[in-house]
Amino acid sequence: MTQPQLIVGPGALGRLLAVRLSELAPVTLLGRRPPPTRLALTAPDGHIVQRRLTSETAASLAAPFRGTLHLTTKAYHAQAALDGLAQKLAPDTALVLWQNGYGVQRTLTRDWSGPVLCATTSEGAYVTADGVVHAGHGETYLGHLHGAYADLAERLAALLSRAGLHCRAVGDIDTRLWHKLAVNAAINPLVARWRIRNGQLRDRPFRPLVEALIDELVLVMEAEGIAPPAEGWRARVWRVIEGTANNRASMLQDVLAGRPTERDAILGPLLDAARRHGLEAPQLSALYDAVG
């Protein structure tokens, strides 16, 4: 039998994982308040899947939990969510971190007693009153920051793939997280700051702002020793903008809804790296201040 899967953070990504994985494994969805016990997932082709799930809070979860814990909160809630549960978890519980950015990945890999895998995904999902819409299929990559636990990564990637999320275990998740972070940093804060869709970055007055950001990002990545994508940074950023032209980035949605943004997880590591290497990063700093 497949190991129990505990999903902490019953938002868009957590609900998507919960419904999909519940076809293959015992799944518990855990929130600050008890999440719904019945969820409807609307697939990208419009097909609707209904699932009953076990719903818990940190207080109600039976201890000790043994299995895999998928942490699907926003980056700024991840550490507190895990701290609130830690007493209930067997010390060898495997964590999968789904957060965008590159912050909690480093600290939890260092501090957690069991295996920690990081995931980066381009799946798209959003919450509805009674469930979740899986807006578009993407690719998910999974691995340990320093290449450990390869067998576990293979097993979990196979499980996620069987559940319908294309997932591959990789030995270079560190580089992949940096790459996603850099591309996100060139797009998300700008569209959030100016309240525009991604595609509008192709036009004046935004195009030169993207170019200036790429210039800063290239220097930071070089100094940090992160190899550029095969196609080069400029081509990568513009390709993503083209491919997501109609999107409202999650950071823009957060700003529009008056929620905190993931700026610390996305811009924070770049500004830290710039400082460490004595580089100026005026565009990145200004955006950090502007998006709140």
Ligand X SMILES: NC(=O)c1ccc[n+]([C@@H]2O[C@H](COP(=O)([O-])OP(=O)(O)OC[C@H]3O[C@@H](n4cnc5c(N)ncnc54)[C@H](OP(=O)(O)O)[C@@H]3O)[C@@H](O)[C@H]2O)c1
| Residues numbered 234-273 forming contacts with ligand X, rule: CB under 6 A | 250, 262
Q: For ligand X, give the closer residue by CB, 96 or 213.
A: 96
CB of 270 to ligand X, least distance (A): 16
By CB under 6 A, name the one of 93, 100, 198, 244 that touches ligand X. Answer: 100
65 touches 44 (CB < 8 A): no
Q: Binding marks (x or -) toward ligand X, 119..148, rule CB under 6 A? A: --x-xxx-x---------------------
Unique residue bearing structure tokens 């190899």 = 227
Phi, psi of 141 (to 5 degrees): -120, 145
CA dist., res. 168 & res. 110, Å (int): 23
By CB under 6 A, name the one of 5, 99, 105, 198 that touches ligand X. Answer: 99
Residue 243, C-beta contacts closer than 8 angstroms, at least 6 positions apart: none
Q: How far from chain centre, in Å, is Cα 150?
A: 20
CB of 194 to ligand X, least distance (A): 20
Count of residues binding ligand X (CB under 6 A)? 28
Contact status: 95 vs ligand X (CB under 6 A): no
- Of the CA atoms within 13 Å of residue 226, those in its CB half-sphere come to 23
Residue 268's SS3 state is: helix
Active site residue 74: no
Q: What's the N-to-C CA distance of the chain in angstroms?
A: 45
216 touches 284 (CB < 8 A): yes
Residue 200's SS3 state is: helix
Per the residue annotation, which of 180, 193, 236, 263 is the catalytic one? 180
CA dist., res. 91 & res. 185, Å (int): 35
By CB under 6 A, name the one of 9, 131, 189, 268 that touches ligand X. Answer: 9
CB of 105 to ligand X, least distance (A): 11
Stretch that binds ligand X, among 68-76, 164-172, 200-208, 210-218 (CB under 6 A): 68-76
Unique residue bearing structure tokens 């719904």 = 36
Contact status: 17 vs ligand X (CB under 6 A): no
Contact status: 198 vs ligand X (CB under 6 A): no
Binding site for ligand X (CB under 6 A): 8-14, 30-32, 72-75, 77, 80-81, 84, 98-100, 121, 123-125, 127, 250, 262
Task: Cite the active site residues.
Answer: 180
